[in-house]
Amino acid sequence: MEGDGFEHEEVGETPQQEFIEQSEVEQEIDAEGGEGADYGDDTIEIDMSNNSVTYFDKHTDSVFTVAAHPKLPLVVSGGGDNQAHLWTTHREPPRQAGNVTHSESVIGAAFTSDGRYLVTADMNGQVRVHVAARQGQEWRPVAELQEVDEVVWLKVHPYRAGIFAIGAVDGSVWCYEMDTQNNTPVLLMTGVAHAQDCTMGVFLETAEDDDNVILVTCSLDGTIIGWNCYSGQQVFKVTPSELKGQEAQWITLNALPLGINRGSPIVACGSNSGLLAVINAAQGAVLHLTQTIELKEDQEEMDASIESIAFSSKMNFMAAGLVSGDILLYDTVTLKVRHKFVLPDSVTKLAFDKATGFHLFASCIDGKVYEFDARNGQQLHVCVGHNMGVLDFVLLEENRRLITAGDEGVSLVFQLPPL
């Protein structure tokens, strides 16, 4: 397998022992800025600082997800109050622009790549689709889908208008394409191959002359599957046998951007035990398998869980964030760790900006979002203001703003420092 830009390794009986030793990491950065102060056993310190510019507080329970419209100053946030709220981002305070009511917690909400449709999904398995009217000033319901008992994730295709997919607790995968003439979702495929929860899915970016829609999904049963959404056929399937018997309950997944993958589709998958796999998504070959962390005696098993994986769209960077608070920054050519960032609590999401490709953002259960320079490991900025964890965030690249989904039921809007 040549031309994928990775140094290949054979997958042996056990994963490559790439535990992060101090001597192996170029630089380790403590997000707290030092060894940490000793406040004593009886002192409780509450951080009341807030550098946000405005907020949205119409949710009455935790906000789980937030997504931005591709063209309008509009976001959608979904929460445990069974609501998906639409609200503006160019006003202070934001103005509510509509809401979608579900029967259970809204765990997925997104606009299609052309901005025409809003898709929301909940933990009762309901998927609702709204279409924009009056140039996005109104959103009218056009479809409701109820195919599964519980939706785990929802993804829209990054550039093919009207295509979206969901994964469910029964392991099934569903992909739809909106018929713009009738504003109805057309089922492209149903995949029933995972034996346990389908925990994550990602659409692959393909060349302009490639009309295929490829979706990669992972599961708690240890399988990773590539699907051709138009034919419904499996492109590949990675099973525990390809991992030489390693147990892996996969929970997170992401794909190397087209401009970086050197002609070969690459995905990285993380497990709840800290196992990280890099796979050639053209044929399912496992290129790299490594254990990201060696737990200390005082750590719990869940501390090893990989909660988020992010790729830079312009540089050879991949980041993996763990429940332990560790963020490992890899060089995607050598797959060696360049930097290790340490957050005070669990990582919930990672994302690189598109403008530079080296600004890495990390949200944390400590209620903050950290911004790092991935080239040198420098901490650039911290967004503070939440008194509970940040569960999701979205970057508004044009005006350098960051919007959060907070566990306390509030979304904060931050103005980031200029580039």
Render pLDDT for 177-226 as a digit per residue (tens, 0 to 9): 999 999 999 999 999 999 999 999 999 998 777 889 999 999 999 999 99
Cα distance between residue 237 and residue 38, in whole Å? 50
- Amino acid letter at 174? W
- Amino acid letter at 415? Q
| Domain assignments of the chain as residue spans, ordered by start | 52-192, 292-418
CATH architecture of 292-418: 7 Propeller (2.130)
Say whether pLDDT at 24 is over 70: no
Q: How does DSSP classify residue 257?
A: -
Say whether pLDDT at 21 is over 60: no
Q: 52-192 with 292-418: one CATH topology?
A: yes
Average pLDDT of 274-278? 97
What does the pLDDT read at residue 155?
A: 99
Select the more confidently predicted residue: 97 or 25: 97
Stretch among 8-12, 107-111, 404-408 having the lowest mean pLDDT: 8-12
Class level of CATH domain 52-192: mainly beta
- Residue 258 C-alpha from the chain's centroid: 17
Average pLDDT of 382-402? 97
First-last CA distance in the chain: 39
Considering 13-22, 26-35, 291-300, 325-334, the range whose residues carry the highest mean pLDDT is 325-334
